[in-house]
Amino acid sequence: MQIDARLQEGIAAHRNGNLEAAQDAYLDVLKADPDHADGLHFLGLLHFDAGHADNAIALIRKSLEQNSANASALNNLGNILKISGQPSDALQAYAKAVELEPRHEEAWSNINVLLRAATHNDDLLPILTEIVRLDPDNPEAWHNYGLSLMLAGHKDEAADALERCLAFGTEVYADPVWHARVLCALGRQERALEHLEKIVEADPENEVARYQLAAVRGDELDHAPEDYVKSHFDKFSATFDDVLKGLGYRAPELVAEEVGTLAANTNERFEDVVDLGCGTGLCGPLIRDHCGKLTGIDLSPGMLKKAAALKAYDFLVEGELVAFLESDLPTRFDLAVCVDTLCYLGNLQPFMTALHKAMKPGAVLIASVEHLSGPSTEDFRVDSTGRYAHTPSYLRRCAEAASLSYVKDKTVTLRHELGKEVHGLIFYVQKPRVSNV
């Protein structure tokens, strides 16, 4: 038997989804040579495809003992470790991959996702320091090096590294949201502005960069433009669930817990429910059992496509949520949830007024917002990422001005990001049972 030919047969069968034939071929290879590095690697991937992640990790590690210089195997090992909930080991595997192959794009992008959610990276920083020294024309290395320095608390060096990365041009790593956020957090507002202006000049139709620029410049904006939200979330939809999981995002669970408690207290299901800004549908399955009919509404078709795949919603509507609540609806709602979406609306008065119109008497809204606290006298504030935070007193004022009762709120941690907790509020408003409208 020609070992290499048999291995190629296995790979071809594997690609075509014929796992049995692939397994036979890989086992033949390993029978002839039990230490065959590629045979072990591909058999590991096959085990992963068959749902046996632990076997996959063991086989790929064994393969790497035979050939430690296989960047793809290291990247694959990182992916499986990440999915198996072992982010530190995954980060180490990706780091070894880029050490071997400094232009391994996939491994860099994986490092980026993990670093954004990490709280420390002591093992990685020396490796990245060495890589930027050896490969100074590598924007992805500078980007992750900057992020790594920031996590280690070296603010100035981090800002220098990110500026270096931006010098490669607006088409490289032109993620205006992220870079603007980080440069502002590092005290380099001017540089963030300059970068955003360049992107807008090169691409005047870029809604994301235009809004970001307005937010960093401090322009008076009372909500994020629809085009911006749509374009940002359409692009983000493929990785949204993964990225948010990495950030310890808990808002859907926190809102669903409140829904569960309310359902238990009233001992009934909510007949008509709407999830405002449902996104990829993280909240839908968590509240489904408490709902008669569940409708999701969102501006982003990309996010809605993901939500549709969950089969948790009876209706999914593409549209702007305030306009939807104001429209001539076929039914009014018993319950509305709104998770991590009001951060794209600053002025909440139109929302509360429209909500009152769309709710049945006695209906409830349970929603999350980012918490604006401290000495400021503002009701809401937009940060350099274009996300709004609100004060609880403002939420109460808007609700009451729309003839809704502000029942309660509680402070929570919504997620963590760049090593810090993001504080939020879960609040609860109700339309009075006896209402004039």
Ligand X SMILES: C[S@@+](CC[C@H](N)C(=O)[O-])C[C@H]1O[C@@H](n2cnc3c(N)ncnc32)[C@H](O)[C@@H]1O
Question: Could you list the residues that contact ligand X (CB under 6 A)?
Answer: 229, 233, 251-252, 277-280, 282-283, 297-300, 303, 320-321, 339-341, 344
Tell me how far CA of residue 92 lies from CA of 88, 122, 146, 153, 234, in angstroms.
Answer: 6, 11, 17, 20, 31
Q: Which is nearer to ligand X, 117 or 297 (CB)?
A: 297
Least Å distance between CB 325 and ligand X? 10
Residue 371 gets which letter from DSSP? Answer: B
Q: Which is nearer to ligand X, 142 or 233 (CB)?
A: 233
Tell me if residue 248 falls in helix, strand or coil.
coil
333 CB burial (10 A radius; 0-12, 13-18, 19+): buried
Give me 228's structure tokens.
Answer: 């911006």
Least Å distance between CB 320 and ligand X? 4
Query: Which residue in 212, 232, 241 sits closest to 300, CA to CA?
Result: 232
Least Å distance between CB 282 and ligand X? 4
Q: Which is nearer to ligand X, 192 or 278 (CB)?
A: 278
Query: Which residue in 53, 48, 46 sits closest to 84, CA to CA?
Result: 53
Tell me if residue 348 falls in helix, strand or coil.
coil
Least Å distance between CB 222 and ligand X? 12
Give 291's strand partners. 270
Residue least distant from ligand X (Cβ): 279
Report residue 67: phi and psi, to 5°.
-140, 95
Least Å distance between CB 313 and ligand X? 12
Query: Within 13 Å and on the Cβ side, how many CA atoms surround 339?
Result: 27
Q: Which is nearer to ligand X, 132 or 283 (CB)?
A: 283
Give me 77's structure tokens.
Answer: 């090992």
Strand order in the sheet with 359-370: 315-318, 291-298, 270-276, 333-338, 359-370, 420-430, 405-417
Q: Which is nearer to ligand X, 170 or 300 (CB)?
A: 300
Least Å distance between CB 359 and ligand X? 17
Query: Cα(56)–Cα(62) distance, rounded to whole angstroms?
Result: 10
Least Å distance between CB 251 and ligand X? 5
Q: Which is nearer to ligand X, 71 or 273 (CB)?
A: 273
Sequence letter at residue 409: D
Report residue 297: phi and psi, to 5°.
-130, 140
Query: Cα(409)–Cα(412) distance, rounded to whole angstroms?
Result: 10
Least Å distance between CB 58 and ligand X? 34
Q: Which is nearer to ligand X, 131 or 299 (CB)?
A: 299
Q: Which is nearer to ligand X, 89 or 326 (CB)?
A: 326
Tell me how far CA of residue 253 lies from CA of 81, 85, 314, 423, in angstroms.
Answer: 25, 19, 20, 15
Let me know the angle formed at the C-alpha of 57 by 53 and 63, rounded to the nearest 5 degrees.
Answer: 140
Least Å distance between CB 423 and ligand X? 16
Residue 172 gets which letter from DSSP? Answer: S
Least Å distance between CB 285 and ligand X? 11
Tell me if residue 398 falls in helix, strand or coil.
helix
Query: Within 13 Å and on the Cβ side, how many CA atoms surround 125?
Result: 17
Q: Which is nearer to ligand X, 97 or 287 (CB)?
A: 287
Q: Which is nearer to ligand X, 7 or 402 (CB)?
A: 402
Residue 402: how many other CB atoms lie within 10 Å: 19
Give me 143's structure tokens.
Answer: 């980007």
Q: Which is nearer to ligand X, 78 or 386 (CB)?
A: 386
Least Å distance between CB 226 and ligand X? 7
